[in-house]
Amino acid sequence: MKHLDFKEFYQADRDVCLRAVLASVGDRQLAEDLVAEAFTRALTSWTKVSRHPSPRAWVVRTALNTRVSWWRRRRREVALAEDHEVAGSTATDAGLDPTLLNALRRLPRRQREVVAFRVFLDQDTAATAHALGIAPGTVTAHLARAVAALRRELVSVPQQEDLA
């Protein structure tokens, strides 16, 4: 029974979790690796995870924490390039517009994480704050800054022509 419940959770929520992690890290292959690792950890702790208020958020937070752990281990070995463009096909495969994904990559890490939880996982402010270990006001501030930055970058305001 344990594995059946997990299997249903995995099938129903894998893509949502992948999109949220992809929005945060901006690299399709890395996001897939992180989500696979997080779901593996969820399976081994399914009794605990299944009782979590939001198992999706648990998976995404675990994936993001795993990224930090991997980065810390590898930071002396590999220089991470944070400014590379994401290929259109990989972003589209995950159901994300490549232009949006590239804009998300330019946001600071914490803003990307808040967007992932609030927008992609549809978590409320309190749940996002709890998952990220920050204050609810900080979530609100990061989300507002992220939305403003994305709006500046993605929304073009039509120029008013002089009618005179």
Give per-residue pLDDT as tens, 54-74: 999 999 999 999 887 666 655
In whole angstroms, give the CA distance from residue 64 to residue 115.
Answer: 13
How many structural domains are present in the chain?
Answer: 1
Q: Is 27 helix (H, G, I), strand (E, B) or coil?
A: coil
- In a domain, residue 125? The reply is yes
Share of the chain above pLDDT 90, in %: 53
Task: Find all residues with CB under 8 Å of 126, minimum gap 6, and list them.
Answer: 136
**Helix, strand, or coil here: 19?**
helix
What is the b/e burial string over 72-100, where b = at least 16 CB atoms within 10 angstroms of the residue's CB? eeeeeeeeeeeeeebeeebbeebebebee
Question: In this structure, what CATH number is given to the domain that contains residue 60?
Answer: 1.20.140
Within a domain: 162:
no
In a domain, 7, yes or no: yes
For the chain, the residue count is 164
pLDDT one-digit tens code per residue, 13-47: 999 999 999 998 888 999 999 999 999 999 999 99
pTM above the 0.75 mark?
Answer: no
Task: Tell me which of 70-74, 89-93, 146-150 is least confident.
Answer: 89-93
Domain that holds residue 65: 2-154
Kindly state whether residue 74 falls inside one of the protein's structural domains. Answer: yes
